[in-house]
A = this chain, B = another copy of it.
Amino acid sequence: MSDPSPRIDAERVRRRIERLAQFTEADRPYTRRAFGTLHAEARAWLAEEFRSAGLAPAFDAGGNLVGRRAGTRGDGRALACGSHIDTVVGGGRFDGIAGVMAALEAAQALDEAGVRLGHDLLVFDFLSEEPSDYGASCIGSRALVGRLTPAMLAGTEPGGETLERAVRRAGGAPEALTGPLPDAARLAAFLELHIEQGPVLEREGVPIGVVEGIVAIGRMSVTLHGRAGHAGTTPMALRRDALVGASALVQDVWERARAAGPGFVATVGRLEVLPNGANVVPGEVRLVLEARSLDEGAVRAFLDESERRARGTARTLGLELEAEVLDTAPAVRSDPRLMAALEGACDARGLAHRRMSSGAGHDAMEVARVAPVAMLFVPCRDGLSHHPDEHADIADVAAGATVMLDALRTLDDELARGHR
């Protein structure tokens, strides 16, 4: 870190983020859906930016736009960073984008300072991290690690086009997606910067979050069966009101999740009442309960305990309860050495930092299957994301890019010294 040298240009980061924001559907900013024309145009622009930063752009078989700069050692081992530039409908200007721009800026800073890493450097713009119209999400990062299955590629959007065809349109080579891509085996480390998409850093005034991992997600569908009845003619004492049971569950989940301490969240986000008439005692309620934590055991235990307690309440109310565990996503842990490199960079720059978990999934979660990963979060205003008002201060994005740059240089040294 003692070089004279590589410096992040915050103004350039700002300009690029503003320029990229112009690639949006005019009537619903900010919308740049993967596989659409605006997305292709934005990537054509991005490829030129890569070039201006000394990165050779090319699409891999998964349709990821990858900027490459060869290292001095020539052993093929690579350090990688990046994120994605596709958006949800009516999304923002920073989700994913900040990560690609920070990675690009770090590469450009190295290039401008004439600093060449020992490792090759790869900057990824992953294809379609956001849920796509074809049914899958994290399409490019899944492809990188060999998890974009034939079934996923056969998925179609409402117009009937298959994902396979769409990946080809996006520059990929779906016939080559038979296992991890060549880059996967070369990765010594992957770093992803992302806006927090939550309010913690902003509230605490901390500019950098070092992500310990992406939480495990457990989901359980719960159906409470009571008995529909006329709201005028069914006395209170003879009711079997499914919504009363469901409300008790919501209250219980709320109280217990709040008591579970930081890093644990649980939510009933989806709830439907049947028949849902103002003058009908609810006969059935279907809801989905989810819990998230880095501690998978805590997630499972919370769901189990929620079910046990809801069964007790249901019995008291004369309801029957059906519970079914839906998909469970395991936790993904960041690599301790990569976290240490990020924290060391923060300390050297005098930037406050805190460890935190990521409650949302990211491309890094896929990459973790083939390489050590770590993420850093920067604050975003009001925790807002997937919204046109999504905002991050450029100074924070630039600070994050600086930390990433410094960490890449640390890791370039450390990982060359025989640690793999």
Contact = CB atoms under 8 A, between A and B. Distances in A.
Contacts of A232: 215, 217, 265, 292, 358-361
Contacts of A197: 230, 233
Contacts of A196: 233
B248 A236 contact: no
Contact of A269 (B198, B200, B231): B231
B231 A267 contact: yes
A184 interface: no
A229 interface: yes
Within the oligomer, what is the number of copies of this chain? 2
Name which of A231, A277, A290 has the most chain B CB atoms within 10 A of its CB. Answer: A231
Interface stretch (A42-50, A278-286, A333-341): A278-286
A276 B265 contact: no
Name which of A247, A280, A385 has the most chain B CB atoms within 10 A of its CB. Answer: A247
Given A265-B236, A270-B273, A250 B243 contact: yes
A288 to B, nearest CB: 4
A260 B237 CA distance: 11
B234 A199 contact: yes
B268 A243 contact: yes
Interface in A227-281: 229-238, 241, 243-244, 246-248, 250-251, 254, 257-258, 260, 262, 264-273, 276-281
B276 A270 contact: yes
A281 B258 contact: no
Interface string A375-393: 0000000010110000000
Contacts of A235: 198-200, 262, 265
- The secondary structure that dominates the A interface is mixed
B265 A279 contact: no
A271 to B, nearest CB: 5
Contact of A254 (B230, B234, B241): B241
A215 B232 CA distance: 8
A349 interface: no
Contacts of A238: 198-200, 203, 383
Nearest to A262: B235
Interface string A193-232: 0001111100100000000000101010000000001111
How many chain A residues sit at the interface, stated as a range, is 35 or more
B385 A292 contact: no
B269 A257 contact: no
B258 A250 contact: no
Contacts of A282: 268-269, 271
B270 A359 contact: no
A82 to B, nearest CB: 21
Contacts of A230: 197-198, 359-360, 383, 385-386
A222 to B, nearest CB: 12
A360 B200 contact: no
Given A243-B250, A278-B219, A383-B229, A258 B270 contact: no
Given A199-B235, A203-B238, A290 B270 contact: no
A339 B376 CA distance: 78
Contacts of A200: 235, 238
27 contacts: A198-B230, A199-B235, A200-B235, A203-B238, A215-B232, A230-B360, A232-B359, A233-B358, A233-B383, A234-B359, A235-B265, A236-B260, A236-B264, A236-B265, A243-B250, A243-B269, A243-B271, A246-B247, A247-B254, A251-B251, A267-B278, A267-B281, A268-B282, A269-B280, A269-B281, A270-B276, A271-B273
